[in-house]
Amino acid sequence: MRPSRRTPVLAAFATFVFAWLLTRTSWLEAALKWAFPTEVSWLHPRADLVSLTVEHLAIVAISSGLTVLVGVPLGIWVTRSSGRDFRQLVAASVDLGQTFPPVAVLALAMPVLGFGFKPTIVALFLYGMFPVVSSTIAGLDSVPTSTLEAAKGMGMSPMQVLFRVELPLASRIIMSGIRTSVVINIGTATIGATIGTGGLGVPIIGGLATRNMAYVVEGALPAAVLAVLIDVLLGQVEHGFAVPLQEADSA
């Protein structure tokens, strides 16, 4: 979506409406009752939608936060002279992280880390790594060599070149990678419910287990809306990094 001046207002309004609807589950129950009249129960009994959504967001925030904290520095490192030799290795590894199914990661991590939160965080952390690392590398690669040459020739230290020139110029591309990673994780985080992590996956997995389609929709619908909302919100942040709107460094 191409952000316009009204997009932030619309996004804030949509977020508000979504939050409000989460607290008014009677609407949802009525709708699900109408859609699935043969079921006997329409809302998953474990927890209300608000706490499930908060749980879900916490899982995504922690895993994506770790991904960014590790992925961006990793991308920076392999574009420095000290890490250049590892560039292929790192690119291949994060590629593998994305192709390796998260469910398999859960299965492999569970014996070591047990049930619950931790294996899910590990699976999502690895799964979201690829867009972050590859966009960091692509963003830093996109900085023109003439700009780097000028920065160096004028007497900037390597750190100054990185923070004053490279990262500001790469920020938009890096941000788009982070956005992709987060949105993927919002959807993928639902599988955590298979090993008791909580979140919006609980009604989905519960519904699949008991063949209750109303539960599945109860979890899937907010997860999908959440993904779209976060995508738009992060898109706004990304747009804010557009050159030359960024004037923070101007004298």
In angstroms, rounded to a whole number, what is the distance separating the alpha carbons of residues 243 and 100? 36
In angstroms, rounded to a whole number, what is the distance separating the alpha carbons of residues 212 and 192? 19
Shortest Å distance, C-beta 165 to another protein: 6
147 or 236: whose CB is closer to another protein?
147
Shortest Å distance, C-beta 237 to another protein: 16
Buried b (16+ CB within 10 A) or exposed e, 79-107: beeebeeeeeebbeebeebbeeebeebbe
- 106: part of which helix (H) or strand (E)? helix 102-113
Shortest Å distance, C-beta 134 to another protein: 22
Shortest Å distance, C-beta 171 to another protein: 9
- Chain residues binding another protein by CB under 8 A are 144, 146-157, 160, 165, 168-169, 243-244, 246-247, 249-251
**If you search the block for the tokens 């992590």, which residue do you land on?**
197
64 or 176: whose CB is closer to another protein?
176
CB 88 within 8 A of CB 169: no
Shortest Å distance, C-beta 33 to another protein: 55
Residue closest to 168 by CA, chosen among 231, 113, 248: 248
99 or 250: whose CB is closer to another protein?
250
136 or 181: whose CB is closer to another protein?
136
Sign of CA dihedral 162, 165, 168, 172: negative
157 or 236: whose CB is closer to another protein?
157
